[in-house]
Amino acid sequence: MNSNSFVLKGDFCYSRDPRHLETVRDGFLVSVDGVSAGIYQILPEPYWGLPVEDWSGRLIIPGLTDLHVHAPQYAFRGLGMDLELLDWLEAHVFPEEAKYRDLDYAGKAYGIFAGDLKRGATTRACIFATAHTEATELLMDLLEETGLETLVGRVNMDRNCPDFIRESGARSSAKETVRWLEETSGKYRRTRPILTPRFIPSCTDELMERLAEIQREYHLPVQSHLSENGGEGAWVQELCPASRFYGDAYDAFGLFGGGAKTIMAHCVLSCDEEIALMKERGVYIAHCPQSNTNLSSGVAPVRRYLDEGLNIGLGSDVAGGSSLSILRAVADAVQCSKLRWRLLDQTLAPLTVAEAFWLGTVGGGSFFGKVGSFAPGYELDAVVLDDSHLKTPLELSVGDRLERAVYLTEERDVAAKYVKGQKIF
């Protein structure tokens, strides 16, 4: 055991499986070299010499994973929420993302994003930047300093967007991507690249072919968008008439899971064939309920994805989603699933809080490995929540306090955070 090992004392809530919450009041969580050695009611003798951080009375939960967030959109979160996806991209997203050509602006905006991500309950995130190489590297520098574990993508987009944001062709988009990969290779401990074609409408066939080559050469994970909105789906069908469904258009280029570890955001409107292929290829679904509500996209059939054993976690999708909080996304996932069940399809039961919490911790965390639980062997990502100001005369169990934390936590309630066994504040 090195000096990196320690013990956290407090009240714990975490998941071992989607259906149940594990709770321990007044327990000891042992972190050995950044990995959980389990939670104990009485600290076992081999650990007596370790330093103890005493958070008695505080609620300690695993760090949350944001599987899908756009860093350059954080500046306009909570604004421009009255449009659907394609009009919203033109009116708000592309003009804002164009500003990241200016490194002063990028530094200011990304500094705020990285600072807020650090202070919240998220410990891992998969992040879209923009098509600007320098600004993307700046974002990676800032994220590395936070102590969070992140995957960051320089966005590729060479068609169907205004000149001021479009890359000047497949060849130069691919070339810039390689330059970005070479310049950041080996530079960071916690910040890694992820290949990020924006979505099918933004990428020519030639670009997709070149990106697939880069994926294979650099063994990169991949992130993109899938079956988010009706108009988008119809457009993909026009652009790729040979594809049987939206996901098939990625698959045609070998960019739909399998060898490449892949996250697809949304999957609100996926057909049976698409769902079957995602399952076969181990594609991760980033469920983004708040974004799907704000952009009137719909409600993904998360109960089905969960019960059929697909890989799935939660995303904030800022600025489609207005909140950066994945605890908020847990509550939104439950609430949206209830509306879907009540209004749309009574064969799919609503999610429970336990299930949605599992999605936000273990479900998304598994993209990063053994992450998102306190069970022995999991990497030690922990968030200490101070719920003492949520006053009530009720006697609450630890499970009750987790449920309230999901519905009522604000950023200021995070008292301390640990990532891979390192305290980051």
* CB contact at 8 A, 246 and 236: yes
Closer residue to Fe ion, CB minimum distance, 265 or 416: 265
- Judged by CB under 6 A, does residue 199 bind ligand GUN? yes
Closer residue to Fe ion, CB minimum distance, 4 or 160: 160
Distance CA 226, CA 80 (A): 22
Closer residue to ligand GUN, CB minimum distance, 5 or 202: 202
* CB contact at 8 A, 67 and 153: no
> Shortest Cβ distance from residue 193 to ligand GUN (Å)?
19
Residues 6+ apart with CB under 8 A from 368: 65, 124, 149, 379
- Judged by CB under 6 A, does residue 198 bind ligand GUN? yes
Binding residues for ligand GUN, rule CB under 6 A, total: 11
Cα distances from 324 to residues 70, 85, 249, 292, in angstroms, run: 10, 19, 30, 14
Interface with ligand GUN (CB under 6 A), residue from 9, 21, 29, 70: 70
Reference 67, options 325, 333, 316; nearest CA is 316
* CB contact at 8 A, 193 and 152: yes
Distance CA 258, CA 277 (A): 10
Closer residue to ligand GUN, CB minimum distance, 23 or 294: 294
Closer residue to Fe ion, CB minimum distance, 158 or 317: 317
Distance CA 284, CA 96 (A): 28
Closer residue to Fe ion, CB minimum distance, 96 or 317: 317
- Judged by CB under 5 A, does residue 317 bind Fe ion? yes
> Shortest Cβ distance from residue 320 to ligand GUN (Å)?
4
Q: Half-sphere exposure of residue 336, counting CA atoms within 13 Å on the CB side? A: 25
Binding residues for Fe ion, rule CB under 5 A, total: 2
Distance CA 72, CA 93 (A): 9
Q: Which stretch binds ligand GUN (CB under 6 A): 17-25, 49-57, 85-93, 401-409?
A: 85-93
- Judged by CB under 5 A, does residue 97 bind Fe ion? no
Q: CA-based Rg of the chain, rounded to a whole angstrom?
A: 21
Q: Which stretch binds Fe ion (CB under 5 A): 89-97, 215-223, 278-286, 309-317?
A: 309-317
Please give the residue whose beta carbon sits closest to ligand GUN in the complex: 320
Interface with ligand GUN (CB under 6 A), residue from 233, 313, 320, 421: 320
Residues 6+ apart with CB under 8 A from 215: 195, 222, 254, 255, 260
Interface with ligand GUN (CB under 6 A), residue from 124, 225, 303, 420: 225
- Judged by CB under 6 A, does residue 93 bind ligand GUN? yes
Q: Helices 133-146 and 170-184: crossing angle, nearest 10°? A: 30
- Judged by CB under 6 A, does residue 228 bind ligand GUN? yes
> Shortest Cβ distance from residue 287 to ligand GUN (Å)?
12
Closer residue to ligand GUN, CB minimum distance, 13 or 268: 268
Closer residue to ligand GUN, CB minimum distance, 7 or 127: 127
Distance CA 397, CA 288 (A): 29
Binding residues for Fe ion, rule: CB under 5 A, are 265, 317
Binding residues for ligand GUN, rule: CB under 6 A, are 70, 85, 89, 93, 198-199, 225, 228, 291, 317, 320
